[in-house]
Amino acid sequence: MIALYVLICLVGAVAVLDLVLTVGVIRRLREHTQMFGEMTGSGAVMAEAGSEIAAFDAVATDGGRVENPKLVGVFSPGCPACEERMPLFMDRAAGYDRASVLAVVAGPDGAAAEYRGRLEPVAQVVVEPSGGAVTSALQVKAFPAFAVLDGSLVVASGTTLDALDAALIRV
């Protein structure tokens, strides 16, 4: 009988310890979530809707001058999400005049060659290092990043093309 009471107390103690540890883990996760949010700012991957982007001077890989793009996609070689979303970007871009679509490949030229070849049929392509003139003007913080522009005004932006669909209809 005493062994049963000892066993019940032991199980109760283990349950209380488990509860304390679980509460500690949850508290720590909340702290990390808050710290991550502070590090990435507002959580936006690039300039947000309604903001103005800085002027930039860029020449596409085909030698043409980039002027007034409407649809913008920013990719980084080796990024799994970029690889996944690039075909969707290319599908959307196919519905526009090539001169109004800009694809930025942020990374070294050697790694960007494959992306460049895939994107050139539907978009003006700019290859630049991370933090280059175009990615800086667009305030890119993560990849992939997509935007709909009206001149220097960001109409919509996000990391998925679904976020831009309504804006694409208006522009």
Structural domain of 18: 1-39
Does residue 93 lie within any of the structural domains? yes
| 121 prior amide bond cis, ω within 30 | no
**81/161 same-domain check:** yes
Does residue 146 lie within any of the structural domains? yes
Considering its fold, how many domains does the chain have in total?
2
**Is residue 54 a contact partner of residue 137, using CB atoms and an 8 Å limit?**
yes
| pLDDT at residue 39, as a whole number | 44
Question: What are 96's two structure tokens?
Answer: 């526009």
Cα 150 to chain center, whole Å?
20
Provide φ and ψ at 31, rounded to 5°. -60, -45
**33/79 same-domain check:** no
**100/160 same-domain check:** yes
Does residue 61 lie within any of the structural domains? no
**110/152 same-domain check:** yes
CA distances from 62 to 12, 79, 124 (A): 72, 24, 8
Does residue 120 lie within any of the structural domains? yes
pLDDT tens for the 171 residues of the chain, in order: 888 888 899 999 998 989 888 888 888 877 766 655 444 444 578 999 899 999 988 999 999 999 989 999 999 998 899 999 999 999 999 989 999 999 999 988 778 889 999 999 999 999 998 889 999 999 999 899 999 999 999 999 998 888 787 666 655
**83/134 same-domain check:** yes
Nearest to 40 by CA among 112, 119, 139, 109: 139
CATH number at residue 142: 3.40.30.10
Does residue 46 lie within any of the structural domains? no
Distance CA 72, CA 104 (A): 8
